[in-house]
Amino acid sequence: MAGTDAFVRWRYRFVPDHVVGEILSKRWTDNLIPLFFLLMTVLVFGAAIQDFYSLGYLITAARQLGEFLLIVIGLLIVMLGGGIDLSVGSNFALANIVGLIAMNVLGWPVWTSLICTILATGAVGLINGILVGYLRLRAFLTTLVTLIMVRAVVDILLLKFSVPISGATPDSDLWEYIGDGTMLGLPFSFVVAAAIAIVVHIFLSRSRPGWHVAAVGGSRRSAFNIGIPVRRTVCMTYILSGALAGIAGFLYAARLGGAGADTGVGLDIGALTAAVLGGNSLGGGRGSVAKGILGAIIVLVITNGLVRLGFQSGATSMFLGAILLLAVSIDVRWFKNRHKVLSKVYVSPTYFQLPPRPSTLPDSGSPYALNDKLRNVEVIGLDQIEGPEDVILDRDNNLYCGSRHGDIIKFFGPDHKRSEIFAHIGGHPLGMAFDREGNIQVCVGGMGLYAVSPKGEVRKMTDETNRSPRSIVDDARVRFADDLDVAPDGRIFFSEASIRYESQDWAVDGVECRPNGRVICHDPRNGTTRTVLRNIRLANGICMASDGQSLLLNETWACRVLRYWFDGPKAGKVEVVLEGLPGYPDNVNRASDGNYWLALVGMRTPVLDLALRKPGFRRRMARRIPMDEWLFPNINTGCVVKFDEQGNILDALWDLGGQNHPMITSMREHRGHLYIGGIYNNRIGKYRIPGADPNWTAQDHYWGPVR
Amino acid sequence: MIMGPIRRAIDRFRGAGSAAITLPPMDGAIRPNQAIEVATLVLEIEAPDNLVFDGRNIFFSNGAAVLSFDPAATTPRPETIATFDHPVTCLAASAEGTVIAGLNDGAILFAAGPRKGQRLAEVGAKPSCPTALLIDGGTLIVCHGSRQNAPLNWKHDLMQLNASGSVWRIDLAGGAPTCLADGLAFPYGLAADSAREIAISESWRHRVVSARSSDTPLLDNLPGYPARLAPAVGGGYWLCVFAPRSRLVEFVLHERDFCADMFREVEPDYWIAPSLTSGRSFLEPLQGGAIKQLGILKPWAPSRSYGLLIRLDAKFLPVASYHSRADGVRHGLTSCVDLGDRVLVASKGGNAIIALDAAAQAGDAP
């Protein structure tokens, strides 16, 4: 078995399983299927048709693409907003004839004609927008009707103006340049479309109204509830679509200069196919310009390729229709199942072997031997608090603790019977420390590092750090700040337990047992935040060591305590202080005798230790059974141990029956007593430490006795 | 049928079909309540097992001893009537005062009555594994749980996916035993119906079958592992369910490689396996839903042990049930005796014999 074990170890060291889930969780993975489809199309037609990609052909194709792309972008804006615009084809034809009338018949200048054209098609868009946006008509039927009506208008205009249009040729270099000219070797219409694509991309992805469009398409009711002007936003998408169809039609007019009855026929189905094929959701809320470009290229390659292969034009439409059907069904399936796939593949356990578990039997002579010292602790705030992960006391004996409601609660000393909500932060406070000025620095789960002044004012210190170049998940945002301590010079070192999970999913991180944690340093003097240490298996408690140049760091899933030097001759070095703990270390704090208190939040179980060496077992477990049934670290029993910087265990405090403290996540010594917190507990314990200095406070010890 | 291995591979990949982990819900007649947890305590004693009644006295086993007490007494004082070299695993009593005991080493012998101390012929392949006895007229019906394991090693037998149990009939006057059924997955309870047909509870297949044919079970899809059957006064039966099924255990049963390492490295008490009792040590495996929140363990938390007694009608259909849930302690119910006005139940995991008032109807969980 040793051989297979070694194989499993190496396999999980070198194959980065977690990458699959991280990539799938990115929004841009939506584009992977269309991109793959595009490559397939390009390859297939390139192989089937000789000279399919010759320079001349590419220029013609690019010119077509410019016009087509504008239509697709207009349509996808409407689709992103949750609607659909079938009238783009007719509108395109309208723009063509209006542009030609203005240039050829009326002899207007190019700019006037362009503006006139855009106004005409924009007006059609406005009608659509008013009907769909303000009068709440169905987008599909409404635009179907405008399609027919605009087509009728175009036919009427054709009857009247087709002869004069073909009889005259506008005398304008600019008009010719728009139709045939190139810019840097690229057709003018392509350049225009590219520029507009960039502008629209920025509009949709970086601007407030652009976000409003996606919000309205994603959930109309929610968008309304948060105050987005839904009707105006919807109306605006149709106007934009109309205007873009106008520009496209004008470019088309300049290129071909002729008005025919079949202009823009079938363009709507082509544009719709392109938009959906690119991955823009028909349901709204999901789409981008990049997707539109992908879809437009695919559709153009296919239509041109089929024509070149000698198919009749009916066959092309048939083919496009079939692709549209396929794309719509894939769209629905993907949208429905993507998060299911993601939830199945995101958890990617890895191999980990823990050192042997020390005995905890009462008569074993082990330093961790079970006892009942915590059975008769005094209880503070029973049923008044929920989830005091960390507790801290000030010089006036007032006790502060976090709660899962996002508050910091203050119990007034010396008896701690009376309490008040000291500050409301909004996230679960997980770790606390006093700085020199007497502010409480707090790590807040899901929010970052915050400071609470002695008056109870809350201030954000930091919630982001430097982005590491090789991380796929965005690790710039601090999601799971866990515990902190303040260095003598005021720098704050805090741990982020995991970059892959939020604080409520701590146990999933444990099932994974991957080094996802890190230590971050925030310097309040200049406001900078840098990640200083990575690859920790759940980075947890932090405490400054006695030399002022290093800190103690609990690596929870590895069951060990590390010491990291941030200053001095050993700066950057990491050493193991305690290894092979019988449980999972959570918080670490100073004791009055120069040693350290360490909370073990839960105990190792033999079966979980074995499962850590079986990543495949844990992966299948995560996929097959619901989370409530997963094998978890046993955090229904905890204890407190005292150790020194050399790694000797000096004392262990247990609550054997688990009556008062089924779990212990933190402890804080203050004036001869130990105050004990637990993240899922409803009380704080107060234990009298035999022989401890009755005047010792951590604040004096850190910052000196003066105020 | 050619598709078998491929089908299984796909199922294993998708977690569907044969690899699916689905459990019957505790619903209908098996809806949870706390009736066992709040029932009257009769006797507090370490791991009582296999309650039987000869018409006057209650007999039960406790380790290697057989004890008896008078159920009519207000404070019963159990007396030891026999002690053996090996733990007693099952008992049977007849109205004539005969008590027969099965031992963990496979022996079956008379524990009381005129033939006390006399051994009966061993049956089946050795080592045999007596898990339940039933005196049926002049014959004794014996459940042999497994060919591979002794009765107290039932956990090994389940996790090894064995199905080597059998049921035998022995003529008490002498003569060759006859096999009534074979290939059973740990038969653990016996009952004779009105037509003197033998019903067998088959633990690892979570069902009750007839000795005549195991093709169509009398009762199937139980949410736990059944133990002893007992006749109910007024018709029907009582079925003790000694441990719950859990999705984690069903999953682990599929993971043969993990199981092999678990057998080798971990003590059986700390296995991911059903248990008669749980939550006594922090070395036991813990499931996510069983984390104490604000000092409270939820009654519906996933648990390796449970207390469940099911009342079956004459056609073996459940009509009522009595529970001790994950937050309770009276787990591991292995046997019971219906006295008419009350039902005595042995909670082997909860170290107690309790009396369930038959008049108290099983209600919903409070």
> What would the two tokens of residue B112 be?
């009381």
The Cα B108–Cα A142 span in angstroms is: 87
Cβ separation of B286 and A624 shorter than 8 Å?
A: no
Confidence at residue B123, expressed as pLDDT on a 0 to 100 scale: 66
User: Smallest CA–CA separation between A420 and chain B, in Å?
Assistant: 20
Under 8 Å between Cβ of A416 and A391? no
The string of pLDDT tens digits covering residues A237-274 is 999 999 999 999 999 998 888 777 788 888 888 899 89
Under 8 Å between Cβ of A399 and A380? yes
- Per-residue confidence at B2, pLDDT binned at 50, 70, 90? low
Query: In a mutagenesis test of the B interface, which of A344, A357, A605 is the best target, namely the one with the most B β-carbons within 10 Å?
Result: A605
Range list of H helices, A490-624: 506-512, 606-612, 615-624
3-state helix, strand, coil in chain B (%, to 5): 15, 35, 45
Match 């604040």 to its residue by tokens. Answer: A699
The string of pLDDT tens digits covering residues B324-348 is 999 999 999 999 999 988 999 999 9
User: Smallest CA–CA separation between B263 and chain A, in Å?
Assistant: 10
- Find all residues with CB under 8 Å of A217, minimum gap 6, and list them: A79, A80, A81, A82, A83, A281, A283, A284, A285, A286, A287
Residue A402 has pLDDT above 90, yes or no: yes
Residue A29 has pLDDT above 50, yes or no: yes
**Residue A629: its chain B contacts at CB < 8 A?**
246-248, 287-289, 302
The Cα A686–Cα A643 span in angstroms is: 20
- Phi/psi for A226 (5° steps) reads -90, 10
- Using CB atoms, which residue from B262, B282, B297 is nearest to A603? B282
**Residue B14: its chain A contacts at CB < 8 A?**
none
Q: Got the DSSP string for A361-418?
A: -TTS--TT----TTTT-EEESTTT-S----EEE-TT--EEEE-TTSEEEEEPTTT---
CB pairs under 8 A between A and B: 107
Which residue from A89, A239, A253, A261 is spatially nearest to A162, judged by alpha carbons?
A261
Provide Rg for chain B, Cα atoms: 20
Q: What is the mean pLDDT of chain A?
A: 90
- Give the pLDDT mean for A206-213: 93
User: Which pairing describes strands A583-590 and A596-603: parallel, antiparallel, or unpaired?
Assistant: antiparallel
User: Smallest CA–CA separation between B134 and chain A, in Å?
Assistant: 38
Higher pLDDT among residues A265 and A154, named by residue: A154
The string of pLDDT tens digits covering residues A298-342 is 988 888 888 888 877 678 778 888 888 888 888 778 777 888 888
Residue in chain A closest to B13 (alpha carbons) equals A620
The Cα A125–Cα A253 span in angstroms is: 20
Residue B126 has pLDDT above 70, yes or no: no
The string of pLDDT tens digits covering residues A514-571 is 999 999 999 999 999 999 999 999 999 999 999 999 999 999 999 999 999 999 999 9
Cβ separation of B294 and A681 shorter than 8 Å?
A: yes
Confidence at residue B215, expressed as pLDDT on a 0 to 100 scale: 74
Under 8 Å between Cβ of A151 and A102? no
- Per-residue confidence at A173, pLDDT binned at 50, 70, 90? confident
Cβ separation of B302 and A681 shorter than 8 Å?
A: no
Residue A465 has pLDDT above 80, yes or no: yes
**Residue B271: its chain A contacts at CB < 8 A?**
607
- Give the pLDDT mean for A594-614: 94
Residues within 8 A of A (CB atoms), B 21-50 only: 21
Q: Rounding to the nearest 10 degrees, give the CA dihedral for residues B217, B218, B224, B230.
A: -140
Residue A415 has pLDDT above 60, yes or no: yes
**Residue B287: its chain A contacts at CB < 8 A?**
628-632
- Give the pLDDT mean for A378-392: 89
Kindly state the DSSP code that residue A102 receives in the 8-state scheme. Answer: I
Contact of B319 with chain A, judged by CB distance below 8 Å, is answered with: no
- Find all residues with CB under 8 Å of A54, minimum gap 6, and list them: none
- Per-residue confidence at A462, pLDDT binned at 50, 70, 90? very high
Under 8 Å between Cβ of B16 and B341? no
Match 């059944």 to its residue by tokens. Answer: B226
pLDDT > 70 fraction of chain A, expressed in percent and rounded: 99
- Give the pLDDT mean for B253-265: 93
- Per-residue confidence at A706, pLDDT binned at 50, 70, 90? low
How far is residue B258 from each of residues A610, A617, B271, B273, B288, measured CA to CA in Å?
Answer: 8, 7, 11, 13, 20
Contact of B287 with chain A, judged by CB distance below 8 Å, is answered with: yes
- Per-residue confidence at B366, pLDDT binned at 50, 70, 90? very low
Cβ separation of B272 and A617 shorter than 8 Å?
A: no
The Cα A620–Cα A348 span in angstroms is: 10
The Cα A194–Cα A290 span in angstroms is: 11
pLDDT > 70 fraction of chain B, expressed in percent and rounded: 95
User: Which pairing describes strands B286-287 and B237-244: parallel, antiparallel, or unpaired?
Assistant: unpaired
* Dihedral sign computed on CA atoms, order A357, A358, A360, A363: positive
Q: Which residues pair with B140 in a beta bridge?
A: B135, B170
Under 8 Å between Cβ of A81 and A145? no
Q: Which of A37-46, A54-63, A665-674, B13-22 has the highest mean pLDDT?
A: A665-674
Q: Which residues pair with A634 in a beta bridge?
A: A603
Confidence at residue A11, expressed as pLDDT on a 0 to 100 scale: 87
User: Smallest CA–CA separation between A385 and chain B, in Å?
Assistant: 9
Residue A647 has pLDDT above 70, yes or no: yes
The Cα B362–Cα B360 span in angstroms is: 6
The Cα A655–Cα A639 span in angstroms is: 7
Contact of B293 with chain A, judged by CB distance below 8 Å, is answered with: yes
The Cα A550–Cα A538 span in angstroms is: 19
Residue A281 has pLDDT above 50, yes or no: yes
Longest dimension (CA), chain B: 66
* Dihedral sign computed on CA atoms, order A287, A291, A295, A296: positive
The string of pLDDT tens digits covering residues A73-113 is 999 999 999 999 999 999 999 999 999 999 888 888 889 99
> What would the two tokens of residue B226 be?
């059944």
- Give the pLDDT mean for A122-130: 95
User: Smallest CA–CA separation between B248 and chain A, in Å?
Assistant: 6
Q: Which residues pair with B320 in a beta bridge?
A: B311
Residues within 8 A of A (CB atoms), B 234-253 only: 246-248, 251
Q: Which of A18-27, A256-265, A403-412 has the highest mean pLDDT?
A: A403-412
What interface predicted TM-score (ipTM) does this complex get? Answer: 0.90
3-class SS of residue A616: helix
